[in-house]
Structure formats: C-alpha cells, structure tokens
Amino acid sequence: MSTPRVGVLALQGDTREHLAALREAGADATTVRRVTELEAVDALVIPGGESTTMSHLLREFELLEPLRARLAEGMPAYGSCAGMILLATEILDAGVEGRAAVPLNAIDMTVRRNAFGRQVDSFEGDFPFEGLDGHVHAVFIRAPWVERVGPDVQVLGQAGGHIVAVRQGRMLATAFHPEMTGDRRIHKLFVDML
C-alpha cells in the first residue's frame, strides 16, 4: 500500500504541529491553502485555531465549496478543536452574522463552540479513548464539546461528562489538541483509517 498523502489546512491554526504528528504516524503530510492542493491529497486534517476566522478564510481562499464537495464525495478528514466545530452538521453559538463559523456537514453532530469556557478556562486531562490502550492526555483550549450525535456516529471519548471525540466512517474529530502532546496514537488512528 502506498503512503497516504494527507493535507493539513494551513489557513490559520496549529498547522506545523499536525504536519509533524502526521509524518511521525507514517503519512506524507503537506499543507493545503489552494484548491489545487486540496485536489492533490487523499485526506485532510483541519487543525485547531479559531473557527470563525477559519470559515472566513475558507471563503476568501475560495476553498469552502470545494472542501464541502470533497468531504461529500467521501474524502477522509480529521478535525481537532476548531476542526471538530467545522466538520459538524450544526454549530451552536456559531458567532455573529457574517462572521459565523460555517458547518462543513461531514459528521452528523451538533457542536457547541467554546463550551468549556474562555481561554483562561483551558485545561489538560487524561481520559479513556475507545480503541486505544490506556488513557489519552488531552489539551483543551477554548474547546468545544458535542451536544448531539447522529445514529452513525461513534463516541470515542468523554471528558467531564461531555463528548469530546467522535468517529463517523472515515471522519474523526476531537475537541482537544493531540498534536500538542508527544502521543501520536490519534494521528496514527487517522492514518490507519485511510
């Protein structure tokens, strides 16, 4: 089997950390900022960052509709934090009109932005992650949580009684930032899904 070519959406957010984690997990990782680059990858990681800013930049770079189309066609994707928000079918507290986070409709879930609180409420913690041995150490920064999942969505992890990791087919999303730790198991899980 050939090495999967995984793009990391590089409009805003922690791109460099995801590129390093994907390479360590066995992928050929590259940045995606243009439609031609999106067309050249087998899968995409949407990093953490700020979901309204990322939505604005997706429109500005004319990537929003091409990305929605690739996802609808079945391109695998992994979203962390802001990426989880964007992969949802519904976003609560999406932001002000004209500057709101836009759903990409890739995972049948409702996500609440900044659900755990403001920047000062950011935290780290350990919790079990379905399909991985041992606990995952998670970094939550102005993190979302999932309020509703559809029937085809598998809950992979919870923190504080809230859903923070999900999978639907070849779509994966976490409310936290595994790229900020040395643990590459979630990136490896995504690469293995390809």
Q: Which residues are annotated as a binding site for L-glutamine?
A: 49-51, 113, 141-142
Given 18, 56, 179, 187, the catalytic residue: 179
Indicate the DSSP class of residue 103.
-
Binding residue numbers = 49-51, 113, 141-142
The residues pairing with 44 across neighbouring beta strands, listed in sequence order, are: 7, 77
Given 17, 18, 56, 177, the catalytic residue: 177
Per the CB < 8 A criterion, the answer to whether 111 and 146 are in contact is yes
Per the CB < 8 A criterion, the answer to whether 38 and 66 are in contact is yes
Tell me if residue 62 is catalytic: no
Tell me if residue 177 is catalytic: yes
From residue 130, give the alpha-carbon distance in Å to each of 106, 178, 185.
Answer: 21, 15, 12
Neighbours of 6 (CB within 10 A): 28
Given 39, 81, 130, 147, the catalytic residue: 81
Tell me if residue 81 is catalytic: yes
Active site residues: 81, 177, 179
